[in-house]
Amino acid sequence: LSLAMELLSRKWGARKLQEHLGLSEEDLAYDCIADLFSRDDAGRFEQLSAYFASMVVDNLQAEELLIALRRLVYSRVNHALFRLYQDSDPAFSRILRNVKIALDALKQFEERDRFGETCIVPVLCETNEHLPPVEQSTLESALLGESTGSESVPVMMGKIAVILREEEGCSRLVPIMTAASVIKSVYEIKNRPRLVSHEERD
């Protein structure tokens, strides 16, 4: 549970999801990984047993076991969040789908798996993975300064690629869900004045 909460605490989108669903971080974390604790007829944790059965557990150090468990938990949390976003935030779900289409079509990024989470990094540059991750707020501020809010998702992804290539103090590796969340936030912020204007005229 602590591993799931650790990941959720780093995700802005997860906090918004908590508010929307009326759940605490602990409740959301448990919902994301609850199926890992399902038992078979013999009382064993079925999915955990199947996962670790593919490894020679006796030959692994405690640190290696923790890394393997973190990968499983992170993967399960990310899949659960994606499902919850689809159900509760159709707009985010559409943006995320278009981000994935843009990745396949434009080849501006490479995809990397990091502890069970799909991340992206611009092509033709160093990843700088040894540096701290770029803050979502930092990426959002940079994209706000480079966009009007009317650009398509592929164009937004191109702008993110340029921003990350120019980033020198942080890692250029970004979770795909963070990129989608940043794009959604920029659309909302940039288009909010237009919506207010329409509402005032109505």
> Going edge to edge, which strands form the sheet with 174-175?
109-114, 117-122, 174-175
| pLDDT tens string 38-90 | 888 888 888 888 888 878 777 778 888 888 888 888 888 888 887 887 788 88
Q: What is the pLDDT of residue 200?
A: 42
Q: What is the pLDDT of residue 25?
A: 87
- 120: pLDDT strictly greater than 60: yes
Instruction: Write down how long the chain is.
Output: 202
Q: Which of residues 201 and 149 earns the better pLDDT score?
A: 149
Q: What is the pLDDT of residue 111?
A: 94
Q: What is the pLDDT of residue 193?
A: 60
Cα 148–Cα 151–Cα 154 angle in degrees, nearest 5: 140
Rounded to an integer, what distance in angstroms lies between the CA atom of residue 131 and that of residue 55?
30
| pLDDT tens string 133-186 | 999 899 999 999 999 999 999 999 999 999 999 999 999 999 998 999 899 999
158-188 exposure pattern, b = at least 16 Cβ within 10 A, e = fewer:
bbbbebbeebeebbbbbbbbbbbbbbbbbbe
Q: What is the pLDDT of residue 195?
A: 45
Q: Which of residues 198 and 68 earns the better pLDDT score?
A: 68
Treating both helix axes as pointing N-terminal to C-terminal, what angle do 176-201 and 136-146 enclose, rounded to 10 degrees? Answer: 50
Rounded to an integer, what distance in angstroms lies between the CA atom of residue 52 and that of residue 66?
12
Tokens at 101, concatenated: 């289409």
Mean pLDDT over residues 20-24, rounded?
Answer: 83
Q: Torsions phi, psi of 169, nearest 5?
A: -95, -5
Amino acid (one-letter) located at 86:
Q
The pLDDT confidence band at residue 37, using thresholds 50, 70 and 90, is confident
Rounded to an integer, what distance in angstroms lies between the CA atom of residue 126 and that of residue 136?
20
The model carries a pTM of 0.70
CB atoms inside a 10 Å sphere around CB 74: 21
- 21: pLDDT strictly greater than 90: no
